[in-house]
A and B are shown apart, each in its own frame.
Chain A
Amino acid sequence: MISAPLSRRGFLAGLGGVGAAALLGACATGSDDSSGTAASSTLTLQSSLSDPDPKAALTKVVEGYTKNKTTLNTIAIETFRAQLPTYLNSGNPPDVLTWYAGSVARDYASKGFLLDVSDLWAGDGPCANFSPALKELSTADGKQIFIPTNYYWWGVFYRKSAFQEWGVEVPATWDEFIAVCKTIKGKGVPPLSMGTGSTPWVASGWFDYLNLRVNGAEFHRDLLAGKHSFDGPEVKAVMEHYRQLVEYIDPKGRSYSWQDAVTPLASKKAGMYLIGAFITSAVPQDSVDDLDFFRVPIIDPSVPVAEEAPTDGYFASAKSRNVAGAKDLLAYLASAPAQQQFIELAKSSNLPTSPTVDTSKFSPLVQKGITLLNESKAITQFFNRDSSDELQTTADTALTKFLDAPGDVGKILTEWQASAKKVLGS
């Protein structure tokens, strides 16, 4: 090492430099502090709705809220998902956040991160007249911690004109459904489109539904909670049905995302597509009116009919510095006019959770979606929302493997159970 004795001048100059740096630093933190105190009276709404239409819609809705000054922060969904625990755990968290109802929200509630909003559900609160199913979905440990504002349905989508051309009728039972698949395949068209390439979770749609139809909603929820085994006889029965579908699924879908797989359906190069109502945003405008859907066919009539209806909404941070303001903002977002404005501006096919929203002006397709859900005995969310993103990837691996090699189903289910156990055990 090279060392030099300190000269007094050098030392003083160095000291001056350090002092100046400290002073500059103090200036910077000083200005931060002042902006921090000013912000505490402003509400922050952290949003994951980064697609253009929903983002513009929420911006408009928030502009209509005048009681408290509100800042809307929109974050890309993948970042939002990854950062969500950090947001909730930080010293000065966002007051209100968009997210999903179900086990994800309950998870955060069990860690004490979510504000108890039971009073919004009681008396003449804004959520008091929501359906009991929604209330149950928003409840953790006897308290309501979630404000659902819209949800959507899943169904087998098809083009009416295409069904006419092929001379097939909407099937109601499993056998009829297989017959329709056979007829469409006979015309040289793949009967089922399914984009499992970059969005392998789409394969869970059929798994969820077949499980709901064969074993029922209660078994399905318990399975995803780890109370049953993925290589048990019940799941084997589900895969037996899934296996009947494999020959009818467009093999090219393995390279597609869910959006890519809409194109064959829209151009009548595929027959049907089991997907959520969000499909309407991916279908060209001129064929939206030709789009229709039917309920996933009944397999066992003795099993109560269940449907998937993933629910979106808001929760508030337990550490919010303005609890009254946060609740007031939630009440506003849950109100019928705000729900209606959001759904219309977002151009989605989502359904409002408030029964007082006037749905008579919604499109016939959406009306039909409302009827579908009203007729069902039980509601589930979706594989990942009823379990976790980590369990979802075990399903992605198992189901995409199964689609490639349906003959290996026994081995695949054993592996699935092993990796699910690892996830649920940790």
Chain B
Amino acid sequence: MTAVAAPDRPRRRTRVPAVVWAFLAVPALVELAMVFWPALNSFYLSFTEWNGLGAAKPIGLDNFRNLASDDVFRGAFENNVIWAVGFGGLSVLGGLALAVALNRPRRGVGLYRSAIYLPMVFSLAVTGLFWRVQYQPDGTINTFLGAIGLESLEKQWLANPDTALYAVLIAAVWRQVGYVMVLYLAGLKSTDPTLDDASAVDGASAWQRFRFVTWPQLRGVNTVVFAVTVIDSLRTFDIVWAMTQGGPYHSSELLSTYMFQQGFTFLNLGYASAIAVVIFALALIFIITYLVRATKEEAA
């Protein structure tokens, strides 16, 4: 970047003293040793067979070949897609709707905002335990359905392979929606209210004002929300582990829970690293395509 910009500027640069480089080198080394080195190791391990004992045995691409024929992995992959779409879509839609609804100062609006944000202060594991109680056969949800005469809808939500994943998804969205709402509230605060007023005077409807005046101004926040949501949905682990541990029979398995099980319950560390590499690649693809498109739009 600087090379392109350099010729047409006078060659007067603030000199960075060497001691600054020395100080910068310390955090750089820490980052290398604590983040990049283990990450590279994980890449290396994905090409080996290792149970934590002795030396890892290089086996080339076997782990990835086994992944391709592993039904549990395929199921976890599909579940992860459902999860990313459901978790991302619902929490963004819900968060945005709540932010727009609670943006205008009104009496008691602070109370609503904090109430909706409140689940965010619980850890995902606690959220999972809380929802597990609701989903019990005699829990709140079934009791409620029975009370309003919908006994036929009562289910063993977490024990039924058709509903387990979605039951966990709802619990996760319940927590995430407050977070997305706060991000969008901050975004809405930075929009220019005079534009909104002007378009209202010009006779634009509420939907038109949102779609053509407010929404374009939220682009910056959208980038953040998108990145946060994709990363959160790919690393989701604790809530699934707390509620179903991927069961019943792998029907709510995600890549992360399968990786944990392979790595830390069965000690197939090479195989688990291969799953980790897949997760990393997925995250990278999503984030890079989005960032490329976002910067292109900005340049245009």
Q: Which residues does A use to contact B, with CB under 8 Å? A: 1-2, 4-7, 10-11, 13-14, 17-18, 21, 81-82, 85-86, 88-89, 111, 113, 197-198, 200, 251-252, 254-255, 389-390, 393, 396-397, 400-401, 404, 426
B residues near A18, Cβ cutoff 8 Å = 22
Q: Quick check: A254 and B17 within 8 Å, CB to CB?
A: no
Nearest-CB distance from A60 to chain B (Å)? 31
B247 interfacial by beta-carbon distance below 8 Å: yes
- Cβ 8 A contact of B249, one of A5, A10, A81, A400: A400
Q: Quick check: A11 and B158 within 8 Å, CB to CB?
A: no
Interface residue range, chain B: 35 or more
Comparing B35-43, B110-118, B262-270, B282-290, the segment that makes contact with chain A is B262-270
Q: When chains A and B are docked, how far (Å) is the Cα of A390 from the Cα of B15?
A: 60
Q: When chains A and B are docked, how far (Å) is the Cα of A254 from the Cα of B159?
A: 6
Q: Quick check: A197 and B159 within 8 Å, CB to CB?
A: yes
B175 interfacial by beta-carbon distance below 8 Å: no
Q: Quick check: A255 and B22 within 8 Å, CB to CB?
A: no
Q: When chains A and B are docked, how far (Å) is the Cα of A5 from the Cα of B17?
A: 8
B187 interfacial by beta-carbon distance below 8 Å: no
Q: When chains A and B are docked, how far (Å) is the Cα of A393 from the Cα of B19?
A: 56
Q: Quick check: B18 and A10 within 8 Å, CB to CB?
A: yes
Top 8 nearest A-B pairs (CB, nearest first) are A254-B159, A14-B22, A4-B15, A10-B18, A252-B137, A82-B264, A85-B52, A390-B266
B248 interfacial by beta-carbon distance below 8 Å: yes
B residues 144-170 in Cβ contact with A at 8 Å? 156-159, 161
Query: Which chain B residue has the least Cβ–Cβ distance from A81?
Result: B265
Contact with A along B247-258 (1 / 0, CB 8 A): 111100000000
Q: When chains A and B are docked, how far (Å) is the Cα of A389 from the Cα of B175?
A: 33
Q: Quick check: A6 and B266 within 8 Å, CB to CB?
A: no
A residues near B261, Cβ cutoff 8 Å = 393
- Cβ 8 A contact of B158, one of A17, A251, A255: A255
Q: Quick check: A200 and B247 within 8 Å, CB to CB?
A: yes
Kindly list 14 other residue pairs between chains A and B, CB separation below 8 angstroms, not including A4-B16, A400-B248.
A4-B15, A10-B17, A13-B19, A13-B22, A14-B18, A82-B265, A89-B53, A254-B248, A255-B136, A255-B157, A255-B158, A390-B266, A393-B261, A397-B250
Most buried by A among B15, B249, B266: B249
Q: When chains A and B are docked, how far (Å) is the Cα of A10 from the Cα of B18?
A: 6
A residues near B135, Cβ cutoff 8 Å = 255
B23 interfacial by beta-carbon distance below 8 Å: yes
Task: State the majority secondary structure of interface residues on A.
Answer: helix
B13 interfacial by beta-carbon distance below 8 Å: yes
Nearest-CB distance from B20 to chain A (Å)? 8
Q: When chains A and B are docked, how far (Å) is the Cα of A255 from the Cα of B158?
A: 7
Most buried by A among B2, B18, B26, B266: B18
B207 interfacial by beta-carbon distance below 8 Å: no
A-B pairs with CB below 8 Å: how many?
87
Asked whether A251 and B266 contact (CB < 8 A) given A4-B16, A17-B23, the answer is: no
Q: Quick check: B52 and A197 within 8 Å, CB to CB?
A: no
B54 interfacial by beta-carbon distance below 8 Å: yes
Asked whether A82 and B156 contact (CB < 8 A) given A10-B17, A397-B250, the answer is: no
B residues near A89, Cβ cutoff 8 Å = 52-54
- Cβ 8 A contact of B267, one of A85, A401, A404: A85
Q: Quick check: A10 and B245 within 8 Å, CB to CB?
A: no
A residues near B199, Cβ cutoff 8 Å = none
B residues near A11, Cβ cutoff 8 Å = 18
Q: Quick check: A252 and B156 within 8 Å, CB to CB?
A: yes
A residues near B250, Cβ cutoff 8 Å = 397
Q: When chains A and B are docked, how far (Å) is the Cα of A113 from the Cα of B52?
A: 13
Q: Quick check: A404 and B137 within 8 Å, CB to CB?
A: no
Asked whether A7 and B17 contact (CB < 8 A) given A82-B265, A404-B161, the answer is: yes
B51 interfacial by beta-carbon distance below 8 Å: yes
Q: When chains A and B are docked, how far (Å) is the Cα of A85 from the Cα of B51?
A: 8
- Cβ 8 A contact of B19, one of A2, A14, A111, A113: A14
B residues near A1, Cβ cutoff 8 Å = 2
Query: Which chain A residue has the least Cβ–Cβ distance from B29?
Result: A21
Asked whether A82 and B267 contact (CB < 8 A) given A252-B137, A255-B156, the answer is: yes
9 A–B contacts, CB within 8 A, in A order: A17-B22, A88-B53, A89-B53, A197-B159, A198-B245, A255-B158, A390-B268, A397-B249, A426-B268
A residues near B13, Cβ cutoff 8 Å = 2, 4
Q: Quick check: A4 and B52 within 8 Å, CB to CB?
A: no
A residues near B244, Cβ cutoff 8 Å = 198
Q: When chains A and B are docked, how far (Å) is the Cα of A85 from the Cα of B264?
A: 11
Q: When chains A and B are docked, how far (Å) is the Cα of A86 from the Cα of B263?
A: 13
Q: When chains A and B are docked, how far (Å) is the Cα of A157 from the Cα of B268?
A: 37
Q: When chains A and B are docked, how far (Å) is the Cα of A183 from the Cα of B87?
A: 48
Q: Quick check: B249 and A6 within 8 Å, CB to CB?
A: no
Nearest-CB distance from B24 to chain A (Å)? 11
Asked whether A10 and B267 contact (CB < 8 A) given A89-B52, A393-B261, the answer is: no
Query: Which chain B residue has the least Cβ–Cβ distance from A388?
Result: B266
Q: Quick check: B18 and A254 within 8 Å, CB to CB?
A: no
Nearest-CB distance from A254 to chain B (Å)? 4
A residues near B136, Cβ cutoff 8 Å = 255
A residues near B26, Cβ cutoff 8 Å = 21
A residues near B21, Cβ cutoff 8 Å = 14
A residues near B245, Cβ cutoff 8 Å = 198
